[in-house]
Amino acid sequence: MRRYVISRLAQTALVVFLALTVVFGLVRLSGDPVLLFMPTDIQAKDVDEFRQRLGFNDPLAVQYARFLGGAVRGDFGQSLRYQRDALGLVLERLPATLLLAGTAVALTLVVAIPLGVVSAVRRDTLLDHLGTLATVLGQAVPGFWLGLMLIYVFGVQLRWLPTGGTGGIAHLVMPATVLAAFFAARIARLTRSTVLEALGEDYVLTARAKGLRATGVIGKHALRNAAIPVVTLAGLEIGQLLGGAVITETIFAWPGLGRLTVQALLNRDFPVVLAAVFVTSATYTLINLVVDLAYGWLDPRVRVT
Amino acid sequence: MIRRVLGVGLTLAVLTAALAAPWLARHDPARTDFSQSLRPPGTHGHPLGTDQLGRDLLARVLHGARLALFIGGCTMVVTALVGGLLGLLTGWVEGWPSTVIMRLCDVQLSFPFILLAMTINVIVGLGLRNIIVSLSAAGWVVYARVVRGEALSVKQRDFVQAAAALGAGRARLLFRHVLPNVAPSIVVVASLQFSQFIVAEAAISFLGFGVQPPTPAWGSMLAESRDFLYVAWWLAAFPGAALALTALGVNLLGDWLRDTLDPRLRV
């Protein structure tokens, strides 16, 4: 077990390293890095000084070695815009994103899984059809449009909720709903189909035959077996949740990692972009590791020895 | 059944709107008229109203359909060709080049699609052609993964072995025997990816990258609408509804194709 975790952590490190290398390469290959790194309003006479100061006169291999050397120590250089340590800036924003994403995941679990189970158990009833309609719509409606419409209805017209920013729980309601919508739709749909599949299995029939109550059959036998594909999808989708956070945070002026990344990209603040790439890919691969470990708990057949 | 009809119907409707946009809309989507700015839907001559510059919203939404389908279509073709070919080759020839390509896939998949496409877009530059390049560079991975998996299993099958024993060349084996058996997966993945590309393009343009105003792209129209949300709800409602209906139609069509061609596939 320990060996497995260590080898997976090594793989995670490799993936993060390759991601950084690719982005570093893309940034450097895409033309004069000085022009790319500079704010667009800079004076021409400052170009040479800038080039010297950021070390772009050195050979590419030297620059890459310096970049990696810094990255290992968590040093991605100074943000060009904020004149601050880039990684520090990114890490400062991470808790807000984790709070938003965590709330969205919790919302999904509370809404989507019961919805999927009920749809499967009460198959072809009105409830099932309504549930299916909701999931199909949830997958098709783009998050940023849903966000705008919610702002219009609940923020502008009804004035029930703040249109953006942070503060109390009220500020979290709309962003978390928007972020959860697509995710919840996919999870509910998959839960429905895996529970349906599980309900047709022999062990469910056996459990029923020996007189177990319906809740026991569904909760203990069907749901646990249906959980594996759902957990897999959830793990894969959490990465897309981090992507969705980029848009949601921008719409609702939520001070998280996604909004910082968009601003850094718009400002061509590449040290911050690289630090954000590092944190995002590390978070994502670590979440997937946790998901893989969760399999062993759910399904003893895949338990690693 | 309802779903299939709805999928085909919506997709055809969007396709028609896109192809016939210049004839369906009576106005030029770029023509400004300040005397007619921010008119609500139902105003004479402007069924969906006008925007802050007095441009006809119906014309802009219809021309937006053209752009969305064009970008989605181009990206779909490029990713299917590149990803399909790479998947086919890496599935056929095992060895270090295949390993390198598959590792690259892992790296790409360790990063949210939309963030990746956006980052590439900033590096290669904004505009119509570059958004297609960016989406393609971020999107080929799924095809490569799926096709490689299929190719690995198809090449072990008896009919391929038999063709090889009969002396068929590599290219013939690959394109005459393996490719036709992998093709349904490519079609299914393409149909399921299509709406993702359209929505991603709109999201990227919404955030200020990708297609720039005044080109009538749904995403940049929605971005502009944010400043007028308090006074003109229709600017946000209609382009977004068009986008959602397009995604809905294509998704339903994709589900149907998957159920018909390849029910095992989960993307």
pLDDT at A178: 93
Across the range A92-120, mean pLDDT stands at 90
| Least CB–CB distance from A281: residue in B111, B118, B203 | B111
Report yes or no: B74 and A202 within 8 Å, Cβ to Cβ. Answer: no
- Mutate one of B11, B14, B110 to test the A interface: name it (highest A CB count within 10 A): B110
Report yes or no: B202 and B243 within 8 Å, Cβ to Cβ. Answer: yes
**Maximum average pLDDT range among A20-34, A280-294, B150-164:** B150-164
Query: In chain B, where are the structural domains located?
Result: 2-28+48-265
pLDDT at A174: 92
Residue in chain B nearest A134 by alpha carbon: B248
Those residues whose C-beta lies under 8 Å from the C-beta of residue B114, and which sit 6 or more positions away, are A240, A243, A244, A246, A247, B200, B203, B204
Residues A145, B251: C-beta atoms closer than 8 Å: no
Residues A242, B115: C-beta atoms closer than 8 Å: yes
Q: How much is the ipTM here?
A: 0.84
Across the range A254-278, mean pLDDT stands at 88
Report yes or no: A214 and A122 within 8 Å, Cβ to Cβ. Answer: no
DSSP state of B157: S
Report yes or no: B14 and B245 within 8 Å, Cβ to Cβ. Answer: yes
Report yes or no: A179 and A100 within 8 Å, Cβ to Cβ. Answer: yes
Interior CA angle at A278 toward A272 and A279, to 5°? 90
Reported as half-sphere exposure (CB side, CA atoms, 13 A), residue B79 has a value of: 31
CA–CA gap between residue B122 and residue A22 (Å, rounded): 15
Alpha helices in chain B (DSSP H): 2-19, 21-24, 57-92, 96-109, 113-124, 128-154, 158-165, 170-172, 179-206, 218-225, 234-261
| Residue A242 contacts B, CB cutoff 8 Å | yes
Give the number of other Cβ atoms within 10 Å of residue B264's Cβ: 6
Residues B207, A246: C-beta atoms closer than 8 Å: yes
- Min Cα separation B243/chain A (Å): 8
CA–CA gap between residue A16 and residue B245 (Å, rounded): 37
| Residue B194 contacts A, CB cutoff 8 Å | no
Strand partners, B134: none
Residue in chain A nearest B222 by alpha carbon: A145
| Residue B227 contacts A, CB cutoff 8 Å | no
Domain B2-28+48-265 in CATH 1.10.3720.10? The answer is: yes
**Which residue matches tokens 């490719």?**
B179
Contact list, A136 vs chain B (CB under 8 Å): 3, 248, 251-252
Backbone angles phi, psi at A81, to 5 degrees: -90, -45
Q: Is A281 exposed, middle or buried (0-12, 13-18, 19+ CB in 10 A)?
A: buried
Report yes or no: A183 and A104 within 8 Å, Cβ to Cβ. Answer: yes
CA–CA gap between residue B110 and residue B47 (Å, rounded): 45
Report yes or no: A100 and A254 within 8 Å, Cβ to Cβ. Answer: yes
pLDDT at A2: 80
What part of A 128-147 touches B (C-beta under 8 Å)?
136-137, 139-145
Tokens of A136: 């199909």
The percentage of chain A sitting over the pLDDT mark of 70, rounded to a whole number, equals: 91
Those residues whose C-beta lies under 8 Å from the C-beta of residue A73, and which sit 6 or more positions away, are none
Report yes or no: A289 and A12 within 8 Å, Cβ to Cβ. Answer: yes
| Least CB–CB distance from B123: residue in A26, A144, A151 | A26
pLDDT at A154: 92
Identify the residue with better confidence: B98 or B12: B12
Across the range A4-15, mean pLDDT stands at 82
Across the range A161-175, mean pLDDT stands at 85
| Residue B92 contacts A, CB cutoff 8 Å | no
Residue in chain B nearest A287 by alpha carbon: B110
Quick check: B70 pLDDT over 80? yes
Residues A148, B119: C-beta atoms closer than 8 Å: no
Backbone angles phi, psi at A82, to 5 degrees: -95, -5
Interior CA angle at A237 toward A232 and A240, to 5°? 155
Report yes or no: A230 and A189 within 8 Å, Cβ to Cβ. Answer: no
Report yes or no: B230 and A156 within 8 Å, Cβ to Cβ. Answer: yes
Report yes or no: B188 and B240 within 8 Å, Cβ to Cβ. Answer: no
Identify the residue with better confidence: A170 or A232: A170
Quick check: A39 pLDDT over 70? no
Contact list, B228 vs chain A (CB under 8 Å): none
Q: Which of A271, A263, A275 is nearest to A79 (CA)?
A: A271
Quick check: B4 pLDDT over 50? yes
Give the number of other Cβ atoms within 10 Å of residue B199's Cβ: 27
Distance of CA B71 to the CA centre of its chain: 7
Give the per-residue SS3 of B192-258.
Answer: HHHHHHHHHHHHHHHCCCCCCCCCCCHHHHHHHHHHHCCCCCHHHHHHHHHHHHHHHHHHHHHHHHH
- Min Cα separation B131/chain A (Å): 15
Reported as half-sphere exposure (CB side, CA atoms, 13 A), residue A118 has a value of: 14
Name the residue type at position B103. Answer: R
- Min Cα separation B65/chain A (Å): 15
| Residue A50 contacts B, CB cutoff 8 Å | no
Residues A149, B230: C-beta atoms closer than 8 Å: no
Residue in chain A nearest B199 by alpha carbon: A142
Q: Which of B249, B244, B256, B254 is nearest to B13 (CA)?
A: B249
Report yes or no: A230 and A276 within 8 Å, Cβ to Cβ. Answer: no
| Least CB–CB distance from B247: residue in A142, A258, A280 | A142
Give the number of other Cβ atoms within 10 Å of residue B33's Cβ: 14
pLDDT at B25: 81
| Residue A63 contacts B, CB cutoff 8 Å | no
Name the residue type at position A164. Answer: G
**Maximum average pLDDT range among A126-135, B67-76, B219-228:** B67-76
pLDDT at A260: 93
| Residue A195 contacts B, CB cutoff 8 Å | no
Residues B112, A239: C-beta atoms closer than 8 Å: yes
pLDDT category of residue A30 using cuts at 50, 70 and 90: low
- Its pTM stands at 0.86
CA–CA gap between residue A237 and residue B204 (Å, rounded): 19
pLDDT category of residue B194 using cuts at 50, 70 and 90: very high
CA–CA gap between residue A111 and residue A132 (Å, rounded): 13
Mean pLDDT of the residues in chain A: 83
- Dihedral angle at the C-alpha atoms of A279, A282, A287, A291, nearest 10 degrees? 170
pLDDT tens by residue, A232-263: 777 777 777 888 888 899 999 999 999 999 98
Backbone angles phi, psi at A125, to 5 degrees: -95, 175
3-state SS class at B189 = helix
pLDDT at A32: 62
Contact list, A246 vs chain B (CB under 8 Å): 112, 114-115, 118, 207
Residues A140, B229: C-beta atoms closer than 8 Å: no
- What is the secondary structure of A3-28 as a DSSP string? HHHHHHHHHHHHHHHHHHHHHHHHHH
Across the range B149-174, mean pLDDT stands at 86
Q: Which of B64, B203, B189 is nearest to B131 (CA)?
A: B203
pLDDT tens by residue, A199-214: 878 888 888 888 887 7
pLDDT tens by residue, B98-147: 888 888 887 787 778 888 899 889 888 888 999 999 999 999 998 898 88
Report yes or no: B238 and B221 within 8 Å, Cβ to Cβ. Answer: no
Tokens of A115: 């919805």
Q: Is A238 exposed, middle or buried (0-12, 13-18, 19+ CB in 10 A)?
A: buried
Mean pLDDT of the residues in chain B: 87
Quick check: B204 pLDDT over 90? yes
pLDDT category of residue B267 using cuts at 50, 70 and 90: very low
Residue in chain A nearest B218 by alpha carbon: A145
Contact list, B119 vs chain A (CB under 8 Å): 23, 26, 265, 273, 277
- Min Cα separation B190/chain A (Å): 16
Residues B110, A16: C-beta atoms closer than 8 Å: yes
DSSP state of A254: -
Name the residue type at position A262. Answer: V
